[in-house]
Structure 1
Amino acid sequence: MRSFDDLFAISAERKGGTDALEAQLAKPKSAAELARIPEDRWLAQFTKGVFQAGFNWQVIENKWDGFEAAFHGFDVDRCAFMHDEDMDRLMSNTDIVRNGPKIRTVLENAHFIQSLREDGGAGKVLGGWASTD
């Protein structure tokens, strides 16, 4: 497997040099910026990452409005209390990708985000995570 440095060098060459490549890369948010991100956006981003894994990313992007509607804007408390009837409704919703195990992760991740409230919330905990860990 190629090292990161090798891949970076190849990418820089293709993009017109190191500076040109760096200009195209997203800049990480500060811990303070991450702490201000609301819980629903954390759950939405977790969900997008789960659904993009193993799928064509463009399919998820094209259906994203359907995901937002189906999961009620990713309201953490509402998603944390999904029950079997909700799962049945979601499994028949053609506005989203109907993958049962991936849908269930929304419930599980909502519980995870709720558990982070004790420590200041998802933004504070994840934003304060050591970059070396």
Structure 2
Amino acid sequence: MTIEKFAAIYQRAAERKGGETQLESLINAPLSKQEIESIPEDRWLSALSMKVFQSGISWSVVRNKWPNFEELFFQFRIEPLLMLSEEQWEQKAQDPKIIRHLTKVMSIPANAQMIYNCRQQYGSFSSMVANWPQEDITGLWDYLKKYGSRLGGNTGPYTLRQMGVDTFLLSGDVEAYLRNIKVIEGGKNTKRALSAANKAFIDWQQQSGRSMSEISQIIAFSTGDNRV
């Protein structure tokens, strides 16, 4: 299958956004591998937990309450959280200072355990993420879904992007574009669809020398209803 050249995608995005200079001003670059490796584990758990709570709830409401979450959950430090009993977790889930949702609260210890377990195999969760091969970035999405709690769909990938990881996203505009060029057919979260999308982004990366994150944003700017 022949996919559209990245140069054509870029030109269309630039035309829609008022020129190359304007387009470039809208694009955010990912962090370096070294910067990702230096992210403390508590910041990963905080970010993952925030995205879990933002699923189906106003993002701004969750952000406004997040200082209370940080206080109640020991600034998301892994060891203190793993020492809590199930009864203590149930008590915390009823605290009126946070958003009271037991199953989402219980994703916190589950994801703390996932991060803790990564130390044995990878040295740290940050090291695992930083060194995950780009040609299988959707495998990292799958890892979060398989070993974490409530991190399937867009939750895991959006957290990675928010934290500066170089990954593409299957946002509405990007998914629609990939369907239009027949890279994705059927369910977007099937192994076949994710593998095909990952391969297409590797091809565009080789053509352009840009990060997956930048390519993903440029594709989003090149399609949909986001003209200047």
TM range (shorter): 0.7 to 0.9
1:56 aligns with one of 42, 55, 58: 58
Partner of 2:212: none
Return the alpha-carbon distance in structure 2 between the equivalents of residues 90 and 107 of structure 1: 12
- Give the greater-gyration-radius structure (CA): 2
Query: Does the 8 Å CA contact 2:78/2:112 hold for their aligned counterparts?
Result: yes
Structure 2's unaligned 5+ residue stretches are: 1-7, 137-228
Return the alpha-carbon distance in structure 1 between the equivalents of residues 15 and 57 of structure 2: 27
After TM superposition, the score normalised by the length of structure 1 is 0.83
Return the alpha-carbon distance in structure 1 between the equivalents of residues 112 and 14 of structure 2: 37
After TM superposition, the score normalised by the length of structure 2 is 0.50
Aligned runs of 1:67-106 on 2, under 5 Å? 67-106=69-108
Return the alpha-carbon distance in structure 1 between the equivalents of residues 23 and 88 of structure 2: 44
Return the alpha-carbon distance in structure 1 between the equivalents of residues 59 and 74 of structure 2: 22
In the superposition, relative to structure 1, how do residues 70 and 28 fare at CA in structure 2: closer, same or farther (>3 Å)?
Answer: same
Partner of 1:120: 123
Q: Secondary structure at the match of 2:31?
A: coil
Return the alpha-carbon distance in structure 2 between the equivalents of residues 60 and 99 of structure 1: 12
Deviation at residue 11 of structure 1 after TM alignment = 9.2
Partner of 2:47: 45
Deviation at residue 12 of structure 1 after TM alignment = 6.9
Worse-superposed segment, 51-60 or 20-29: 20-29
After superposition, the C-alpha distances for 1:109-128 in whole angstroms (9 at most, x for unaligned) are 10000011121101110111
Partner of 1:131: 134
Query: Does the 8 Å CA contact 2:36/2:126 hold for their aligned counterparts?
Result: yes
Deviation at residue 10 of structure 1 after TM alignment = 6.7
| Letter paired with 1:45 | A
In the superposition, relative to structure 1, how do residues 81 and 131 fare at CA in structure 2: closer, same or farther (>3 Å)?
Answer: same
Return the alpha-carbon distance in structure 1 between the equivalents of residues 66 and 38 of structure 2: 23
After superposition, the C-alpha distances for 1:70-120 in whole angstroms (9 at most, x for unaligned) are 111001111223322322222221221111111111100100000111211
Percent identical: 31
Backbone CA RMSD of aligned residues: 2.3
Query: Does the 8 Å CA contact 1:76/1:110 hold for their aligned counterparts?
Result: yes
Query: Does the 8 Å CA contact 1:80/1:110 hold for their aligned counterparts?
Result: yes
In the superposition, relative to structure 1, how do residues 67 and 11 fare at CA in structure 2: closer, same or farther (>3 Å)?
Answer: farther
Return the alpha-carbon distance in structure 2 between the equivalents of residues 62 and 128 of structure 1: 33
Runs of 4 or more consecutive aligned structure 1 residues displaced over 4 Å after TM superposition = 9-12
Q: Secondary structure at the match of 1:132?
A: helix
Deviation at residue 61 of structure 1 after TM alignment = 0.6
